[in-house]
Amino acid sequence: MTGAAEWSRFTAALFDMDGVLTRTACLHAQAWKWLFDDFLRRRAGAAAFRPFDEQDDYRRYVDGRLREDGVRAFLASRGVVLPAGGAGDPPDAETVAGLAARKETYFSALLDERGVAVYDDGVAFLRAVRAAGLRTAVVSASRHCKAVLASVGLLAELDAVVDGEDSRRLRLPGKPDPASFLEAARRLAVPPADGIVLEDALAGVEAGQRGGFGLVIGVDRSGHASALRAHGAHLVVSDLRRLLPAAASPAA
């Protein structure tokens, strides 16, 4: 199948936000780098310092995950285990919660400084599926999700949002567990098999596949199509306008 035939039989589309609809993934990557490079440099002492890689480490360990899960996954890759800590830990605490809070301060500062831009193809696809009668949701690990969507005028175009605050409140495990996607499908009253998942993160496409969604579209923003397929994407595109009917597709 090609074009709109890829999604025309479905009744809902569930989008990741960072990297699919908004260009905020680069801000997250920069915030993670500031966090981990400072932590690793101080911990290395006289030993060789190996910095956080904004491409490979970001994609493998933190992209699409809840903050605390990202901290644990990356530190485990470097053989580091920290106490979990608690939600009230300050940003300077040497705990998982403390590092997560520090990353939040870095990301908030970058968001204030640089603002938010959108991916035109992601927005075009969102509007096309809504025009075709599909219900729409955003499923994101970001606790800034609703504010970011509102700032770019997209919040009103969604029937449901499941974000990092919901995951914390409902105690939903983060991606690659499918729980947040399944919660969004429940809110939309749509069986997972009738839903499309659109994700740029490896953890996200894996969550869509594990949740039994009918079509998992990997959005390849950084040349990792094969990895997206390996983690569960049924289809990978670099520009979502390729999946629109000609009449609905704005000029690239």
3-state per-residue secondary structure call for 104-141: HHHHHHHHHHHCCCECHHHHHHHHHHHHCCCEEEEECC
> Using one digit for the tens of pLDDT, what is the confidence trace for 171-180?
999 999 999 9
> Using one digit for the tens of pLDDT, what is the confidence trace for 114-139?
989 999 999 999 999 999 999 999 99
- Which residue among the candidates 16, 57, 69, 177 is catalytic per the annotation? 16
CA distance 128 to 243: 10
Of residues 86, 90, 82, the one with CA closest to residue 36: 82
Q: 200, 221 in Cβ contact below 8 A?
A: yes
Q: 155, 32 in Cβ contact below 8 A?
A: no
Q: Is the pLDDT of residue 1 over 50?
A: no
Q: Is the pLDDT of residue 105 over 80?
A: yes
Average of per-residue pLDDT across 47-76 = 91
> Using one digit for the tens of pLDDT, what is the confidence trace for 15-60?
999 999 999 888 999 999 999 999 999 888 756 889 999 989 998 9
Q: Active-site residue 38, yes or no?
A: no
Q: Is the pLDDT of residue 222 over 60?
A: yes
| Percentage with pLDDT > 70 across the chain | 94
pLDDT-derived band at 247 (thresholds 50, 70, 90) equals very low
Average of per-residue pLDDT across 211-215 = 97
Domains of the chain: 3-23+117-248 (3.40.50.1000), 26-114 (no CATH)
Residues 6+ apart with CB under 8 A from 165: 143, 145
pLDDT-derived band at 249 (thresholds 50, 70, 90) equals low
Q: Is the pLDDT of residue 158 over 80?
A: yes
Q: Active-site residue 18, yes or no?
A: yes
Q: 175, 201 in Cβ contact below 8 A?
A: yes
